[in-house]
Amino acid sequence: MLGKELAVLLPSANEVLPLGHSECDITVESQVERMFREWRPDLVVNCAACADVDGCELDSERAFAVNATGAGHVARAAERLASRLFHISTDYVFDGQKRTPYTETDPPHPINAYGQSKWEGEKQVLERNGRSTAHLVIRTSWLFGIHRPSFVEKVMAEAQSQTELQAVTDQIASPTWTFHLAQKIAELAGKPATGILHVVNGGECSRYEMAQAIVEILGRPVTIKPIAWPQLNRPAKRPAYSVLDCRRLVQLGLSPLPHWKQALEEHLRFRHRVTMMAQKI
């Protein structure tokens, strides 16, 4: 979802090689090494991940193979060739016990296999033989975009056939549009940023509030009914509050991302235009 966005944005000023799983499986170190030797990249953005939270809980071995071990393969290869690495991570490295936005210096404490595997991946990217690397970990949250189904598409699909939907009230984070995130990653390519950086759209909301905003923008007569997360009986726990503080982004001289509601409105307008164009072809 994010990788395809970057593949569209970055080529204006760079030669870009977008690699999918079939071209390079990051869990296989020899494949990663071969790609680095052949292409000798200046910058690598690692968007590869097992991001199905419940799926990670049911198959933690696969989650750790991709999110932790695979991330380490990419980081070591990048370090050997002095390539910059941007590694995409998640708000789910936190346990959700805070009620104020998490900063980059807050200690992670994941509560599910997905978050744990991503935190292990962060450590493999940022630490090598007891010293810090020059790589950058970019944490983000609740991504939505046109290249892959997300919560937005789920609500839209259900709103077409139902007059009443359920959405969770006890999970709060910052929905983030992949287009805005990709734009900021492109800007970061020109900044000497290392360590950890939080990048999300502004504001915060629950899934319930986000669903309400979606049907309101679409103008659909759908009622959103509140539900608590435990009632869904899903395999993996979620942090109740995982809003990320993005002040370090401003300290680097970059503007913060727009509010999530503005991002959602822009995304839905853009999605509508793409759908209309596809129907005319």
**Residue 161: count of CB within 10 angstroms of its CB:** 6
Residues annotated as catalytic are: 114
CA distance linking residue 211 with residue 152, whole number of Å:
8
CA 77, 118, 50, 4: dihedral to nearest 10 degrees? -60
Contact 194, 136 (CB under 8 A): yes
* HSE of 65, CA atoms in CB hemisphere, 13 A: 10
Residue 128 and residue 78 in contact, taking contact as beta carbons nearer than 8 Å: no
Distance, CA of 220 to chain centre: 28
- Gap between the Cα atoms of 160 and 152, Å rounded: 13
What are phi and psi for residue 227, nearest 5 degrees? Answer: -145, 145
Backbone angles phi, psi at 199, to 5 degrees: -140, 105
Nearest to 170 by CA among 109, 263, 244, 242: 242
